[in-house]
């Protein structure tokens, strides 16, 4: 497991192009055709362990920074740079919690539902998995400054890694669309915040131009190295299931980086002979930001071996523009209508026989309250996975005795406003309203007795 071969390259996902580039370049989109890039490996040059359980031996060497990292513990599976370039701040110390109470809520049998708490990462979301990998690539190319557009978590995570690596960082956010917990992090971590009078999709478009023009390193999930880090979320789920493959992965879908990374992770493991079967995936949109669901379920858009019907996407986006549509959901993290990883996500849907559903804000908030009450809590976007699972159970798409892992992408304190409003204003069936009482001892005793009684 010690070989230091760098056997990776970048390749355009468009089969008509297929251009290849070395990893010493920061490109983010194919310079020939503008399509997305993958990081691919010459596996015969990499000493990949014979079985996944070999990775567990690294638990005994947790004083080694790379063995401690929940990303780099799996380094042979994302072998694109030398050890000296690898960046870690201790990401990936996450847990997979079996949760029978939430299983009952979604109508799944006991011991079938598992929650992957990515909120336990250093910046409080799954993004840290991707940032440790992408910043390692930034070290390879000698980047001095970086930027991202964000609904909040990417910016929090990027800012944290940027100050760790000594890079200047700039964050582009839409007007009024970012949860305070997240905004406070990027300011605290020293990033320059720039608010654009527009939504996330506007920011995403602008940041790409800014990075190209000024030679800044782009840290959105367009960056294929970020997705390499996010593959490890799947490795850790299997690790905690004794290296068994679950039947279903359920994940919220925003810019579609996670879902894209997960499909790639499983395809590679299957090709390497490290797993025998690939799990199915369910990707969950919010109804107010349901581009993927619309394109897959209504327009029947398919990966089709990379020959995605671009015309269907163009027509869909042209209609959004004509209507002046801006996405809207209380799950602000996934308030995105032009997901940059759409095509890679379609590939995942093919690899993992995926399904897509959209859930309402009401369903998201109820599910979030249940994760708070019976689990460790999560932010609204994360709870879309639980709400989506409930749908898929009611439809019978997912069986009651199938083994399901829901990815809870962000920490509950990321967005306290949604939580407080839900409870205080009695917005949902699980609202837990605070009570008011006069500053009078007898009245207080009466109230507390009533509550306990």
191 touching ligand F0G, by CB under 6 A: no
224 part of the interface to ligand F0G, by CB under 6 A: no
Q: Is residue 410 part of the contact set for ligand F0G (CB under 6 A)?
A: yes
14 versus 348: smaller Cβ distance to ligand F0G: 348
- Which among 27-35, 146-154, 211-219, 396-404 is the span making contact with ligand F0G, rule CB under 6 A? 146-154
CB 177 within 8 A of CB 377: no
Does 382 bind ligand F0G (CB under 6 A)? Our answer is yes
Measured CA to CA, the distance from residue 336 to residue 204 in angstroms comes to: 10
Residues 45-74 that bind ligand F0G (CB under 6 A): none
Q: Which region, judged by CB under 6 A, interacts with ligand F0G, from 19-27, 33-41, 47-55, 256-264?
A: 256-264
- What token pair was written down for 182? 């997240």
For ligand F0G, which stretch binds (CB under 6 A), given 71-79, 87-95, 374-382, 427-435? Answer: 374-382
* Nearest position to ligand F0G, beta carbon: 254
Cβ atoms of residues 167 and 158 within 8 Å: no
Q: Is 381 in the site for ligand F0G (CB under 6 A)?
A: yes
Sheet holding 168-174, edge to edge: 192-196, 168-174, 145-149, 217-218
Options 125, 186, 285, 348; binder of ligand F0G; rule CB under 6 A: 125
- Candidate list 78, 177, 256, 290; residue touching ligand F0G; CB under 6 A: 256
Window of 32-40, 207-215, 379-387, 393-401 that interacts with ligand F0G by CB under 6 A: 379-387
Q: Which residue of 257, 388, 412, 428 would you call a contact of ligand F0G, by CB under 6 A?
A: 257
Taking CB under 6 A as the rule, does residue 116 contact ligand F0G? no
Kindly tell me which residue out of 70, 92, 122, 152 binds ligand F0G, with binding defined by CB under 6 A.
152
Is residue 112 within the footprint of ligand F0G (CB under 6 A)? no
Residue 28: CB minimum distance to ligand F0G, A: 15
The CB-of-430 to ligand F0G minimum distance in angstroms stands at 20
Residue 293 found at the interface with ligand F0G (CB under 6 A):
no
Binds ligand F0G (CB under 6 A): choice among 122, 246, 253, 288: 253
- Residue 169 binds ligand F0G (CB under 6 A): no
Is residue 334 close enough to count as binding ligand F0G by CB under 6 A? Answer: yes
Using CB under 6 A as the binding rule, whether residue 349 contacts ligand F0G is answered as no
User: Quick check: 412 binds ligand F0G (CB under 6 A)?
Assistant: no
Name the residues that contact ligand F0G, by CB under 6 A. 125, 150-154, 221, 252-258, 333-334, 379, 381-382, 409-410
């Amino acid at each position: 497991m010690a070989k230091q071969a760098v056997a990776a390259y970048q390749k355009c996902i468009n089969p008509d192009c297929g251009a290849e580039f070395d990893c010493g370049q920061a490109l983010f989109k194919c310079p020939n055709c503008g399509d997305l890039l993958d990081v691919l490996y010459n596996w015969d040059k990499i000493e990949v362990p014979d079985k996944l359980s070999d990775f567990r031996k690294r638990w005994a060497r947790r004083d080694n920074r790379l063995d401690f990292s929940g990303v780099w513990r799996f380094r042979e599976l994302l072998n694109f740079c030398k050890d000296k370039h690898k960046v870690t701040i201790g990401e990936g110390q996450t847990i997979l919690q079996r949760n029978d109470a939430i299983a009952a809520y979604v109508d799944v049998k006991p011991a079938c539902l598992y929650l992957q708490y990515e909120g336990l990462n250093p910046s409080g979301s799954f993004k840290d998995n991707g940032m440790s990998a992408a910043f390692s690539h930034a070290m390879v190319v000698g980047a001095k400054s970086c930027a991202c557009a964000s609904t909040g978590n990417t910016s929090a995570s990027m800012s944290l890694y940027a100050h760790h690596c000594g890079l200047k960082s700039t964050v582009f956010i839409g007007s009024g669309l970012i949860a305070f917990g997240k905004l406070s992090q990027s300011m605290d971590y020293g990033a320059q915040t720039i608010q654009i009078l527009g939504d996330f999709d506007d920011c995403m478009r602008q940041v790409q131009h800014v990075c190209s023009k000024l030679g800044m390193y782009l840290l959105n999930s367009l960056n294929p190295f970020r997705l390499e880090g996010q593959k490890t979320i799947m490795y850790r789920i299997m690790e905690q299931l004794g290296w068994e493959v679950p039947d279903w992965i359920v994940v919220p879908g925003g810019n579609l980086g996670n879902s894209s990374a997960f499909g790639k992770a499983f395809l590679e493991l299957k090709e390497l002979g490290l797993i025998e079967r690939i799990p199915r995936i369910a990707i969950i949109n919010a109804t107010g930001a349901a581009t993927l669901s619309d394109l897959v379920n209504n327009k029947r858009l398919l990966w089709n071996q990379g020959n995605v019907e671009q015309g269907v996407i163009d027509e869909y986006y042209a209609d959004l523009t004509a209507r002046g549509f801006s996405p809207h959901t209380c799950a602000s993290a996934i308030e995105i209508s032009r997901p940059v990883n759409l095509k890679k996500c379609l590939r995942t849907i093919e690899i993992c026989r995926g399904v897509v559903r959209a859930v309402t804000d009401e369903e998201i908030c109820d599910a979030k309250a249940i994760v708070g009450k019976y689990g460790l809590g999560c932010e609204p976007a994360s709870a879309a996975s639980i709400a989506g699972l409930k749908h898929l159970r009611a439809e019978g798409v997912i069986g009651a005795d199938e083994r399901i892992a829901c990815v809870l992408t962000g920490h509950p304190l990321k967005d306290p406003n949604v939580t407080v409003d839900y409870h205080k204003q009695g917005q949902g069936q699980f609202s837990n309203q605070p009570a008011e009482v006069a500053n009078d001892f007898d009245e207080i005793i009466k109230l507390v007795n009533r509550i306990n009684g």
